[in-house]
Structure 1
C-alpha cells in the first residue's frame, strides 16, 4: 500500500475516513458487482480498520478467480478542516476472456484421465464461468461436459453450478460398460459444520456387456435406466494436506435419494472419517474408517449393479484387486448394499533420511493394516444375523511400501501386501501392488 503517511500513534487510534474508492483495470466486470464487494470499506473509522477491510476485500476479489492480479494503494487527501481522508485505489488485471488447457487427473480406480478444456471466465461480468471439457482415460473412459457456474450474491463460497454431460464408461472388474447422458444442478455453501453440496441429478444410463465373458448375472441387468436423485454431501476437511497429511482430520458424509421420477429407487448413506497425528521424528499415524448402507424402498426390485458399493484395490482395501472384495459371478464383481472398511497406517521418513531438505521429503515409508467387507443384507435374516455376517466375514491384509507425493496433484504407492483373510470368490492380489490417485483409505 503506497502513499500513506502516519505518525507514531497506534493505528487503531488514528481516525480514518475513506473519501473514495477507485478501481482501475475493469473491462468486462460489471461496476455494480465490484461496488458490492468494496462498499464496507467506507465503514472504517480508523487506520487499523481501513487496512483490515482493504486486505479482506483484496482476498475476496482474488477468490472470485476472475483477476490475474489485485493490488491496493492508499493515498491521503487533506480536507479543508485539516483532517485526513484517504483514497483507496484497487488496480486489477482481468483474466483473458477465453482460455483453455490440458491437465491430468487421477480417479479412485487407479486410473489417469487427460482433460482438455475451454473456458470463458467472468462470462457475463459477474464472475460466472462457462467451461467445456473432454475427458479421456487410460482404461478407455471418454466423454464431454458443458458446465456453468456462478457465485451467488458475489460470494465465492456460495455457488450455483449446472452441467450437461455424456460419458462412456467401462467397468472391467464387473464386465459391463455404460453410456450416461445427464444433467445436474449443484448448490454449494459453507456452515459451521463444514462445506455442503446439494445436488439434483437426472441421468439416462445404457448398460451393456463389456465382452463375451461377462457373466449372465450382469447381462440380466443390461438395458436402459433413468435415475433422478437428490444428493447431499457434507465435508469437513481440517488436514494440512489432502494428498499426504501429517495432522488434522477429515469427515465426509453423503446421502442420496433416488426415485424422483425414473425407474431407479434407493436410499443411500455413505461416511468417511480420517484422523492424522504427527509423532516424533516426522512420523505420522493415520486411522481411516469408511462405511455405507443402501436400501431399495421397493422390495420387489433389486438395486442395480451400477449403484452398489464396491471395495478393493490399491486405493482402498490393499491386497485385493480393484473392486475384488465381495460377491462375484464368473469373475465379475457384483457389489453389495452395505460395506465397511478400516485402515491403520504409519508413515515415516526414508531410512537414514537421504535427500533430506530436497527430493527425499517427497518420499515416505508406509506400514499398514487394513480390513473391510462388502455385504448384501438378507431380508430373510434378523438384524443381528446380518450384523454378524457383516462383521465376521471380513477381509484383512497388511504390508509395507514406499509413498511418493506428487505435489498437491496425486500420490504414488508401491507396497508389498500380505492378505491374511479372504472369502470365497474374492479377487486377491498378494505381493507387489501399485497405486496412483488422490484419495486413499
Structure 2
C-alpha cells in the first residue's frame, strides 16, 4: 500500500446490530452454520422460481436428487392432446430440448427446460390444464442419469358459439360468432362472424389463422370480409365492401406488435338519396383497391378503456396501386398517454392524425378520412367535419379541414391556420369551427373505444 492509497476510517464501538430475525440468521460466530443457512436460503430461492412448473417427482427418486444432480432429458411425452398433431407438438418442444444448456446437464437445467415447455404449451391456448411429471427413464437402454418428462394435459373445448347485442361507436346491433379452436391439429383457429346494426347494416368476416414459428410469436392469417354501411346521415348514400386479406403478425411485449398485410377490396358507393349532391353522384360506382400495408402497435396501459397509467401508440402505413384503379399512400398515427394525478383522478391525453397522398386524379370517397362525432371529435356532428357539398361530407386528405380538391400544401396550411376546436364536459360548445363543419351545442353522449 502506498501513501496515496485511501484507508478506511476506524470503526468506533459500540456498533449497532442491524440483523433481522425474520430469516432466522445464525449467530455470526458460527461460520459453518451460517454457510449452511446461506446455501439453504439460496436453494429455497431457486426452487421457488420453478414452483409454477407444478412438478411431481417419483417418490423413489426424491431422496436421490438435488439441483446439482447430473440429469439428462431422454424423452418428452404429452398425454391428453388427442386432437393435436404430434408433429406440431414436436416443433414446439424440440427447439427447447436441444437448446444449449446453461451449464452442465443437471436437475436445475431439466427444471428450466421443463418450465419453458410448459409455458409454450400454455401459450398455444389449446389446454385448460398442463402438469409436468419427471421420473427415471423407463427405456431399457437409458443411462442412469436419463429422465422422462411427461406432460399431463386437458384440451379446451374445440367449438365456441356466441350471440350478443351491443351498443357502441354510435350504433347498436346484434352479432353471432363461431370459432373452431385447433381446427387441423396445429393450433389453427377458424373464426366466422356476422353482425347486423343500425348504421353498418350487415358485416361478415371469416378468417383462418395459424402459428408460423415454434415460439408462437408470429402468426399468419387469411380472411374474407364484407359490409354494407348506411352513410345517408352524412353522405346521402350507402357503401358496400367485399375483400380478401392476408396478414403476418408478430407480437413482442416490449417491442410492440407488427402487422404486415395485403388486401384486395371491391368498393361500391350507391343507393343515392334524391337529395344527393353532385360530388356524391360523381363518387358513385365501383372502385377496386389493391394495397400492401404495415402497422405497429405498442400498448402499456393498465386498462384499455379507463387506463390510469401507461401509453398507447399506433402507426399505420398503406400503399395502393399494385393493380386496381386507385393509387395512393396513406398514413395514420394515434396515441394516448395516461397519468394518475391523485387517487381516483387521472389525466389522459389523446391525439390522432393522418394524411393521404393520391397519385393522379382525385382520391376515392372510400379512401378519405372522416372526422367528427362523440367518439371522434366531440361537439361536432358524426362525420361532420371537413369539406362539404351541400349536406354531404366528402371526407378529406388530412384529418381536419383538408379536402380532395386541394393540394397537400394547401391542406397542411389550412389545417394549421384554421383548426376546428371544441371543449366541454358532458355539456359542450364548439369554440372554433370551419365554415363547412357541422357543429352541435349542448349535450352529446357517445359510447365507444376511442375518444378524442
Q: TM-score range by the shorter chain?
A: 0.7 to 0.9
Higher RCO, Cα 8 Å, sep 6+: 1
Q: For 1:243, what is the secondary structure of its paired residue?
A: coil
The alignment status of 1:275 with 2:302, answered yes or no, reads no
How far does residue 257 in structure 1 lie from its aligned partner after superposition? 0.9
Q: TM-score w.r.t. structure 1 length?
A: 0.80
Q: Match of 1:164?
A: 224
How far does residue 85 in structure 1 lie from its aligned partner after superposition? 4.9
Structure with max Cα Rg: 2
Give the distance between the partners of 2:164 and 2:132, measured in 1 at CA: 33
Q: Say which of 112, 117, 126 aligns to 2:186.
A: 126
CA contact 2:401–2:414 (8 Å) conserved in 1: no
How far does residue 337 in structure 1 lie from its aligned partner after superposition? 0.1
Give the distance between the partners of 1:379 and 1:418, measured in 2 at CA: 29
CA contact 1:177–1:208 (8 Å) conserved in 2: yes
Deviations 1:67-120 (A, max 9, x none): 33323333456999996654322122223343322245666x423443312232
Give the distance between the partners of 1:379 and 1:34, measured in 2 at CA: 57
CA contact 1:111–1:437 (8 Å) conserved in 2: no
The alignment status of 1:3 with 2:65, answered yes or no, reads no
Gap change, CA 1:306 and 1:377, over 3 Å in 2: closer
Q: Match of 1:399?
A: 424
Q: Match of 2:427?
A: 416
Give 1:5-20 correspondences, 5 Å limit. 11=67, 13-20=68-75
The alignment status of 1:214 with 2:276, answered yes or no, reads yes
Deviations 1:397-436 (A, max 9, x none): 2222xxxxxxxxxxxxxx2222211122322122221111
Q: Say which of 259, 279, 300 aligns to 1:197.
A: 259
Q: Match of 1:96?
A: 157
Task: Name the one with the larger strand percent.
Answer: 1
The alignment status of 1:188 with 2:249, answered yes or no, reads yes
CA contact 1:310–1:325 (8 Å) conserved in 2: yes
Give the distance between the partners of 1:113 and 1:22, measured in 2 at CA: 47
Deviations 1:248-303 (A, max 9, x none): 111111111111111111110111122122223232212212111111111xx211
CA contact 1:209–1:219 (8 Å) conserved in 2: no
Show structure 1 runs of 5+ residues with no match.
340-372, 401-414
Give the distance between the partners of 2:236 and 2:110, measured in 1 at CA: 63
The alignment status of 1:231 with 2:293, answered yes or no, reads yes
How far does residue 207 in structure 1 lie from its aligned partner after superposition? 0.8
Give the distance between the partners of 2:216 and 2:174, measured in 1 at CA: 27
Gap change, CA 1:215 and 1:288, over 3 Å in 2: same
Give the distance between the partners of 1:140 and 1:50, measured in 2 at CA: 55
How far does residue 161 in structure 1 lie from its aligned partner after superposition? 0.6
Q: For 1:60, what is the secondary structure of its paired residue?
A: helix
The alignment status of 1:286 with 2:348, answered yes or no, reads yes
Give the distance between the partners of 1:246 and 1:10, measured in 2 at CA: 45
Deviations 1:347-391 (A, max 9, x none): xxxxxxxxxxxxxxxxxxxxxxxxxx232377569x4x6543211
Tell me how many residue pairs correspond in the alignment.
388
Give the distance between the partners of 1:434 and 1:14, measured in 2 at CA: 66
Q: Match of 2:304?
A: 242
Give the distance between the partners of 1:235 and 1:251, measured in 2 at CA: 6
How far does residue 188 in structure 1 lie from its aligned partner after superposition? 0.8
Q: For 1:147, what is the secondary structure of its paired residue?
A: strand
Q: For 1:218, what is the secondary structure of its paired residue?
A: helix
CA contact 2:379–2:429 (8 Å) conserved in 1: yes
- C-alpha root-mean-square deviation of aligned residues, in Å? 2.8
Give the distance between the partners of 2:64 and 2:379, measured in 1 at CA: 67
Give the distance between the partners of 1:254 and 1:174, measured in 2 at CA: 26
Gap change, CA 1:306 and 1:82, over 3 Å in 2: closer
Gap change, CA 1:280 and 1:220, over 3 Å in 2: same
Gap change, CA 1:249 and 1:48, over 3 Å in 2: farther
Q: TM-score w.r.t. structure 2 length?
A: 0.78
Q: Say which of 414, 421, 445 aligns to 1:434.
A: 445
Q: Match of 2:86?
A: 31
Greater Cα offset, 23-32 or 60-69:
60-69
